[in-house]
Amino acid sequence: MPIRFRASVLAAAAGLVLFFMAAAAAPPALCADKARRALWPAPVETLTLASTTSTLDSGLFDVLIPAFEKKLSCKVKVIAVGTGQAIRLGRDGNADVLLVHDRESELKFIADGFGVERLDVMHNDFLVVGPRTDPAVIRGKKALDAFRALAAGPGVFVSRGDDSGTNKKELRLWAATGSKPTKDRYVESGAGMEAALRIAGEKRAYTLVDRATWLAHRREIDALESLVEGDAELFNPYSVIVVSAVRYPGLNSRLAAAFAEFIRGPEGQTLIRDFGKDKYGAPLFFPDVIK
């Protein structure tokens, strides 16, 4: 056997001996732990976010959620429902964090000890949309005057009827006018914002819609147009609330707090500010923390 080849074989053999000696000297628990981690990697942390349908239907979460998941190496489970249902999920300990838009319900949630703090995130506004023929003659009116005209008729109004932030705003507007359409002209869809908007389009009816959902889908619903907007009564603020770990110790409070910080931080606020400008020609939401 050539000397050079024999030396290589001896070196390789020596290396194997040293490897097995080191493995034998390692603590059994350490070896077992390494093997276990190799076979069963640690599960990825998951955050459960209960939010409104508008943040999902508008496409905002398509940019916000992946950015947060990448930053925190986690997964976000989004439950997109009306604000009322999202708050109920928080009350039942079935969500780690909420992104909702009904200030009155949010403040009660905090006062009852279910949430840590209500933090402003962003805002947009509501619009009243309806058929171009505008049978109730509401075009250009102030919000309350428009709702009085809608109550008097003619024309059909489609309500979400789902205890969402939009539905709560609508009911407060009816209450402020002291009137409401008759049952034959009032349709409760029990659906999310996009679905309710499509029903209104099919029926050539009026409805209250948030600006984000309207801008995202108005081209598909050409039977309707915006008739009332720009009134202070139609202001629509969104907030983030971390569900109380004191009330529910099993929640992922660390990720919930990180999400609240992210969505109110420079990266999240910039994503909110820029979202929709290129595709829809206007922002769908306006950040509250940065200008």
State both tokens at 209: 């819609």
Q: CA-to-CA distance for 209 and 250, rounded, in angstroms?
A: 36
Q: What is the helix, strand, coil percentage profile of the chain, to 5?
A: 50, 20, 30
Domain 125-234 of CATH type 3.40.50.10790 = no
User: Do 260 and 116 contact (CB within 8 A), yes or no?
Assistant: no
Asked if residues 36 and 53 have their Cβ atoms less than 8 Å apart, the reply is no
- Residue 291: per-residue pLDDT: 76
Amino acid 134: pLDDT? 98
pTM of the entire predicted model:
0.81
Fold of 46-123+237-287: D-Maltodextrin-Binding Protein; domain 2 (3.40.190)
Give the phi and the psi of residue 10 in degrees, each rounded to 5: -65, -40
If you count DSSP H runs as helices and E runs as strands, how many of each does the chain have, helices first? Answer: 13, 10
Q: By C-alpha distance, which of 182, 188, 219, 214 is closest to 203?
A: 188
Q: Counting Cβ atoms within 10 Å, is residue 128 exposed (0-12), middle (13-18) or buried (19+)?
A: buried
d(C-alpha 60, C-alpha 77), whole Å: 15
Domains of the chain, residue spans: 46-123+237-287, 125-234
Mean pLDDT by 10 residues, the chain (291 residues): 42 43 49 55 87 91 97 97 95 98 96 97 97 97 98 95 94 97 96 94 97 92 96 97 96 97 98 93 93 76
Tell me, yes or no, if the two domains 46-123+237-287 and 125-234 fold the same way.
yes
Q: How far apart are CA 170 and CA 181, in angstroms?
A: 12
**Among 78, 127, 101, 61, which residue's Cα sits nearest to residue 271?**
61
Per-residue pLDDT at 139 = 98
Buried b / exposed e over 77-100, threshold 16 CB at 10 Å, is: ebebbbbbbbbbbbbeeebbbbbb
Structure tokens at 153: 């008729």
